[in-house]
Structure 1
């Protein structure tokens, strides 16, 4: 039976402000990418999400990013490799404290936003992320785009490299994500998102923004938690996957 993990970005708030419906999404997803304070999240939020995830048996992952609270981690930045590696390790370590206090652990790492897109092609920045993970824990899987420099370097360093796909993002013919600033980069047709999810899980393919078939074979499927109607859409995706005979389970 085909198996797929469902992950979502959670804990994306700060103080009294909350972007994601963490409680409801944690009843649907199998892996939680928890913001570690650099693009969103604070100590209280990280603790709360870890406690909720642990109570519901959802795997906890560290979503690391550039230090960019004002830009939500989506602005391009040039960070020296040694500094980036240290900041990646710092974020993982911060989340690990709260995960362990909740009776769980950080089980994987996923870059966020601009950092995620940068390490698809940038060898130096990708190597810095890998170095940061090795500094924090030499066994943590890295979640990223299939064919990316990040996953290649992770595998070479002995880290599990886990490919993921995006149900609600448009793809280029090269298999990368269409930049968010372009029209149609984020899909809003919920029916299309649901059916794309099944296609990705079962056949490992999706139609690009230009109409070409793209190979997106992945072990995890990302459902964004910051889009309108995210919770209901996530429920529909999981229900449709299970109806199609896909086993939904965490990869880590």
Structure 2
């Protein structure tokens, strides 16, 4: 049994630093790297890609709304065509730095408000799908199980990766509890690790109201900006490993397809 462990990284900006990317890259197997729209700047993106490659961590493009001030956590009623172009722009920017580091972008994961919006928002989900399809239809996409986003991606022929959140509470319907609600973010490393093991084994976990909910996942996310993120990630990785669940990426760690080239 294997499970991918991912984290949102590269979210610092200029002199403003967020999270401990260096420590997390020594633990996780996939890095959702900011692309400069919700967080990150060119220097941060390049440094994060280089560190990911140095640690053998798979690089994913974490695309979001054009919202640095709100950290991409505010819904934007974007025109679908413009949203497609914004996502293509973000993937391309990160892919450039990934290639300089010796690898490439290997999957796409929406961020924050965009991630939550396309659980149900069909037009925006289709816009993001179109961006990935245009840029590289072989790129897997990551998202919430049962979302409009993953369904639209499957219909477009894209490979889909189901994601569960180690440090977030769920509603009985299997969606994320809003960060505005009490109890939305979990903090106890051992409790989180135990819950992740249940998810890895296909067992139900407790929703915010205590009812059991099944979360099917190929990858577990630890938010890099959460307090204690490094301790949480380490506890999850250690607990899964000692319980017989191998931590491994869902795509190869390195190597380009024969058609790949550095732009």
Pick the TM interval, shorter chain. Answer: over 0.9
Show structure 1 runs of 4+ deviating over 2 A: none
Paired positions, count: 251
Mapped contact 2:12–2:40 kept (Cα < 8 A): yes
Q: What corresponds to 2:257 in structure 1?
A: none
Range moving further from structure 2, 132-141 or 215-224: 132-141
Mapped contact 1:4–1:246 kept (Cα < 8 A): yes
Mapped contact 1:11–1:46 kept (Cα < 8 A): yes
Deviation digits for residues 108-141 of structure 1 (CA, Å, limit 9, x no counterpart): 0000000000000111110001011112111111
Q: What corresponds to 2:215 in structure 1?
A: 216
Mapped contact 1:50–1:99 kept (Cα < 8 A): yes
Could you tell me how far 1:190 is from its partner in structure 2? 2.1
Q: Secondary structure at the match of 2:244?
A: coil
Range moving further from structure 2, 186-195 or 7-16: 186-195
Deviation digits for residues 23-60 of structure 1 (CA, Å, limit 9, x no counterpart): 11000000000000000001000000000101111000
* Structure 1 CA distance for aligned equivalents of residues 64 and 40 of structure 2: 11
Could you tell me how far 1:177 is from its partner in structure 2? 0.3
Unaligned 5+ runs, structure 1: none
Could you tell me how far 1:63 is from its partner in structure 2? 0.2
Range moving further from structure 2, 190-199 or 44-53: 190-199
1:248 and 2:247 matched: yes
* Structure 2 CA distance for aligned equivalents of residues 227 and 152 of structure 1: 29
Deviation digits for residues 201-221 of structure 1 (CA, Å, limit 9, x no counterpart): 112432111111111110000
CA RMSD, 1 decimal: 0.8
* Structure 1 CA distance for aligned equivalents of residues 234 and 214 of structure 2: 25
* Structure 2 CA distance for aligned equivalents of residues 20 and 160 of structure 1: 30
* Structure 2 CA distance for aligned equivalents of residues 15 and 137 of structure 1: 30
Matches within 5 A, 1:71-220: 71-220=70-219
Mapped contact 1:204–1:218 kept (Cα < 8 A): no
* Structure 2 CA distance for aligned equivalents of residues 60 and 36 of structure 1: 11
When the two structures are superposed, what TM-score results if normalisation uses the length of structure 1?
0.98
Unaligned 5+ runs, structure 2: 252-263
When the two structures are superposed, what TM-score results if normalisation uses the length of structure 2?
0.94
Q: What corresponds to 2:259 in structure 1?
A: none
